[in-house]
Amino acid sequence: MSDADRYEPSHGSRGFHVEHYDLDLTYRVSANRLSGTATLQVTMLEDAKEITLDLVGLAVDKLSVAGARLVKYRHRDGRLVVRLSEKLAAGAECTVTVRYSGNPGPVASAWGPVGWEELDEGALVASQPVGAPSWFPCNDRPGDKATYRTSLTVDSPYFVLAHGTLVDRRVRAATTTWVYAETHPTCTYLATVQIGHYSEIVLAGGPVPQRLVVGGKHASSATRWLERQPEMMTLFTELFGPYPFDAYTLVVTDDDLEIPLEAQGVSIFGSNHLDEADAVRLVPHELAHQWFGNSLSVASWQHIWLNEGFACYAEWLWSEASGGPTADALARRFWTRLHKLDQDLVLADPGPDDLFDDRIYKRGALTLHTLRTAMGDSAFFDLVRDWVARNRHGVVTTEAFRSLAAEHAVTAGGTKLAVRVASILLAWLDDEHLPQLPGR
């Protein structure tokens, strides 16, 4: 088993790629009952007689395969194994259709329950890192990105948001069907559904449309809380490059949530997050994930610092630009805090047990700040924008970032700067010991 595999030993498969998910779902809020048909367009990446999908807590009612002959399937311990009559060669395509139903709930994981969550009046989906199989059969690994069509039928009083663009809405008697199309390659954990008694409020009409989806009793406070959201978008598009999706939606649920979470083109907050401190910290963090994590997705959870380090550093950049403490002041504050903690984490390979350790977030941000200090603002942000542009809607690794950083260092300062940048990344990414910040 490779190092990457140990981060997701019981989820996903590298033997095939899902090109597209077509999800036709019906959900009864009062009974928390989900039924649906998922159609997966699959391309084989290696010769195999089996296709293994992830589906947790829901029952398979029927399964069929087009493009190959199905022998049988087995669904046990969250793994749906589809056995074919003969091997499909690498490059071959087939379509797997699964009809399923049940009462969805979060997937138990080492990082807590994740996935489909029933609310007092509705439901939400926040799947990072392994919660997607709680509501549809999938190849659940971050490096396998697909396009989506999500059709969800609910009782008419409820508002439905899914990732992508609303392309159809049909009212029939007491139910409404909402259809969303996601044309950008999307990780399974970033696929989402939000159901509730929500209304929409426009935060900005362009150049990036931004809206708030919120329950009525929180509409006024949430709008005030997000009054600087358009400014954040302007800053980040200048620093990181064009916003990678068609629009951006922020959801504020009536329920309290432990932490906010990102989805494709969407960020989800609880009503308990509506205070000034969280507006300064959490709102820019989640927005930055649309670039780092959603457009640029990690090949494996091993590289999670590329998501969280950039998002954390975006908090500091926003603070600096909006009149708060500078990024350098925040870097020194958090270096002092990290210095007091155990020095037993390797940022480039933290291990699955420490996947969401706060040291990954802060040490990742400190790594970027040290690079910025060494390269200068012009060269550093040229690197960041090039990183985003080259890997737009793709999959990234730590080694790819090292390589691009070296390329930009040579351009900005020749061999001497390239050696310094390589040394910085080696110390911050590969050693347990916490390096000194420049100037300390």
pLDDT-derived band at 276, boundaries 50, 70, 90: confident
Please say if the pLDDT value at position 8 is more than 90. no
How would you list the strands of the sheet with 79-88, edge to edge? 48-54, 79-88, 70-76
What was the pLDDT predicted at 255? 86
Q: Residue 159 in contact with residue 196, Cβ under 8 Å?
A: yes
The three-point CA angle 162-164-136 to 5° equals 50
State the helix-helix crossing angle for 229-240 and 276-288, rounded to 10 degrees: 40
Max distance between CA atoms of the chain, in angstroms, equals 71
The identity of residue 241, as a single letter, is G
Evaluate if pTM is beyond 0.75.
Answer: yes
Pairing of strands 193-196, 159-162: antiparallel
The CATH fold assigned to 1-101+109-114+124-193 is Immunoglobulin-like (2.60.40)
Nearest to 211 by CA among 263, 247, 245: 247
Rounded Cα distance, 89 and 406, in Å = 38
Residues near 207 by beta carbon (within 8 Å), at least 6 away in sequence: none
Please say if the pLDDT value at position 88 is more than 80. yes
Q: Which helix (H) or strand (E) holds 414?
A: helix 398-425
Q: Which residues face 249 on adjacent strands?
A: 211, 266
Q: For residue range 144-162, what is the model confidence (pLDDT) as tens digits?
A: 999 999 999 999 999 999 9
- Residue 11 has a CB neighbour count (10 Å cut-off) of 24
Counts of helices then strands in the chain (DSSP H, E): 8, 21
Q: For residue range 48-71, what is the model confidence (pLDDT) as tens digits?
A: 999 999 999 999 999 999 999 999
Which tokens sit at 244? 């990678």
CATH no. of 197-287: 3.30.2010.30
**Equal CATH topology for 1-101+109-114+124-193 and 297-430:** no
What was the pLDDT predicted at 439? 76
Place of tokens 């209304």: 199
What was the pLDDT predicted at 5? 66
Q: Which residues face 43 on adjacent strands?
A: 17, 93
What was the pLDDT predicted at 4? 42
In this structure, of 157-171, 228-242, 278-292, the range with the lowest mean pLDDT score is 278-292
pLDDT-derived band at 6, boundaries 50, 70, 90: confident
The identity of residue 129, as a single letter, is P
User: Residue ranges per domain, the chain?
Assistant: 1-101+109-114+124-193, 197-287, 297-430
What was the pLDDT predicted at 372? 98
What was the pLDDT predicted at 9? 80
The identity of residue 416, as a single letter, is K
Rounded Cα distance, 329 and 184, in Å = 37
Which tokens sit at 333? 């504050």
Q: How far is CA 311 from CA 307, 364, 403, in A?
A: 6, 9, 21
Rounded Cα distance, 111 and 303, in Å = 17
What was the pLDDT predicted at 7? 86
Percentage of the residues of the chain whose pLDDT score is greater than 70: 99
Please say if the pLDDT value at position 3 is more than 50. no
What was the pLDDT predicted at 440? 62
pLDDT-derived band at 187, boundaries 50, 70, 90: very high
Backbone angles phi, psi at 11, to 5 degrees: -135, 140
**For the residues 210-229, what does the mean pLDDT come to?**
93
Residues near 326 by beta carbon (within 8 Å), at least 6 away in sequence: 316, 319, 320
Which tokens sit at 278? 């969280």
**For the residues 335-351, what does the mean pLDDT come to?**
96
**For the residues 33-55, what does the mean pLDDT come to?**
98
Please say if the pLDDT value at position 2 is more than 70. no
Rounded Cα distance, 74 and 61, in Å = 12
Statement: 297-430 belongs to CATH 2.60.40.730: no
Rounded Cα distance, 259 and 348, in Å = 24
Q: For residue range 361-379, what is the model confidence (pLDDT) as tens digits?
A: 999 999 999 999 999 999 9
